[in-house]
Amino acid sequence: MPASPLRRSSLRVVAAAAAFLTLTSVATACSGSGATTTADGRTVLRYEGSAGQVGFPELAEALGYFEDVELEWIGDNGNGPQSLQNTATNQVDFGGAFNGAVIKAQAGNSPLTSVLAYYGSDEQTFTGYFVLEDNPIRTARDLIGKKVGMNTLGAHHEFLVREWLAQQGLTAEEIAQVELIVVPPVNTEQALREGQIDVGTLGSVFRETAVERGGIRPLFTDESLFGSFSYGTLVFRDDFIERNRGAVADLVQGTARAIRWTQVTPRDEVIAKYKEIIEGRGRNESTSLVEYWRSPGVAGPGGVITDQEIRTWIDWLTRNGELDEGQIDLDDVFTNEFNPYANGTYEPTSGPNGEPLVEAK
């Protein structure tokens, strides 16, 4: 007898946890400091980027905000769960993903700690869950038996869709009848317009160009659920933090200042800087995506992580039986220790070693 949708979801969670247990063993077996140094004594931090885009650590380096670290790009990756795996297994020194995925990884004994919020939603930067204009789907209940396309399962979009359905009053059994399928972002609009899916997940350039072509409308957006809210965090392995605290502190303070720079700097100046960085790094990339940058999409000043941005997903996973009550505490998930904006101000007052900083613009 085929497994029910709810059973398949449970099996997927168990498999993910088992995979992370395996990854943890691998990471433990191969872990060292994971860091090399340059001739002038800077710690080299390996990371993955995104084609045609500028990550906040890359911006921080370009703005000269790092004192003790240097970045080493090893390739591109837009998949959060894969980024967590690569970080846990020492393929990179830091990565980033949706907070729900981070918590699930930690629950599977993956030795990771969140240190900085780096993406989210606001009025200008958000993801919409779109249907065709003439589609009769209007409510969450209309999605029972329908297909929702997203870039990956077990990450941001799956959590957001399930949260919206729950907020709209659907039971767990009804939510399990909504089919979530993987569709690459570049193909989502076409799949929606051709009727291969009933709801398409569209953000950034994909959302804006699809809306420009007309004929679609948002059923809901992630911004409509929580308002201005950070959804994802940068993570380090725990052993790396223990052995390279100065490097972690420098990466966080510099990246926090870069985030703050985008929060207070006019959009055209940010876009110009992003284009300069992309054109100067020699990866044979187009700068066309940068034109669609609207805002940093990070709620807290300088990427400070709030309790609510983490507790929301601990509670969600607990309600859905994917975490035991009390299995994960907030302190197990994240730290703002290295973020200079965690002092409650909108400007940092000192660097990782207590030295005065030039204030972010």
Could you report the per-residue pLDDT of 38-71, keeping only the tens digit for each?
Answer: 989 999 999 999 999 999 999 999 999 999 999 9
Q: What sign results for the dihedral spanned by CA atoms 316, 319, 323, 325?
A: positive
Task: Work out whether strand 69-76 and strand 179-182 pair parallel, antiparallel, or are unpaired.
Answer: unpaired
Q: How many domains does the chain have?
A: 2
Residue-level pLDDT at 285: 95
Same domain, 146 and 164: yes
Q: Does the pLDDT of residue 24 top 80, yes or no?
A: no
Same domain, 249 and 102: yes
Q: Are 122 and 294 in contact (CB under 8 A)?
A: no
Q: Order of strands across the sheet with 43-49? A: 36-37, 43-49, 69-76
Q: Which of 190, 208, 226 is the last residue of a domain?
A: 226
Same domain, 141 and 78: no
Token pair belonging to 252? 């966080």
The confidence band for 344, taking pLDDT boundaries of 50, 70 and 90, is confident
Q: Does the pLDDT of residue 178 top 90, yes or no?
A: yes
Question: Which residues constitute the domain of residue 174?
Answer: 127-226
The confidence band for 10, taking pLDDT boundaries of 50, 70 and 90, is very low
Token pair belonging to 66? 């790092």
Is 7 contained in some domain? no
Token pair belonging to 183? 């569709």
The confidence band for 348, taking pLDDT boundaries of 50, 70 and 90, is low
Between 53-62, 97-106, 314-323, the lowest mean confidence (pLDDT) is in 314-323
Is 341 contained in some domain? no
Contacts for 202 with CB less than 8 Å, ≥ 6 apart = 127, 128, 129, 130, 185, 188, 189, 210
Is 322 contained in some domain? yes
Same domain, 197 and 58: no
Same domain, 237 and 118: yes
Mean pLDDT within 207-228: 95
Between 159-173, 206-220, 303-317, 340-354, the lowest mean confidence (pLDDT) is in 340-354
The whole-model pTM stands at 0.83
Task: Work out whether strand 127-132 and strand 147-150 pair parallel, antiparallel, or are unpaired.
Answer: unpaired
Contacts for 292 with CB less than 8 Å, ≥ 6 apart = 204, 205, 208
Residue-level pLDDT at 145: 98
Residue-level pLDDT at 29: 36
Q: Does the pLDDT of residue 223 top 70, yes or no?
A: yes
Percent of the chain residues topping a pLDDT of 70: 86
Same domain, 211 and 237: no
Residue-level pLDDT at 343: 87
Q: Which of 226, 257, 285 is the last residue of a domain?
A: 226
Same domain, 165 and 101: no
Is 88 contained in some domain? yes
Percent of the chain residues topping a pLDDT of 90: 79
Q: Does the pLDDT of residue 212 top 90, yes or no?
A: yes
Residue-level pLDDT at 347: 61
Q: Which of 226, 243, 261 is the last residue of a domain?
A: 226
DSSP conformation class of 296: -
Mean pLDDT within 220-247: 96
**Mean pLDDT in the chain?**
88
Same domain, 204 and 220: yes
Is 243 contained in some domain? yes
Q: Does the pLDDT of residue 206 top 90, yes or no?
A: yes
Same domain, 211 and 132: yes
Q: Which CATH number covers residue 283?
A: 3.40.190.10
Same domain, 106 and 243: yes
Is 58 contained in some domain? yes
Is 15 contained in some domain? no
Same domain, 203 and 264: no
Is 14 contained in some domain? no
Mean pLDDT within 76-88: 93
Same domain, 198 and 240: no
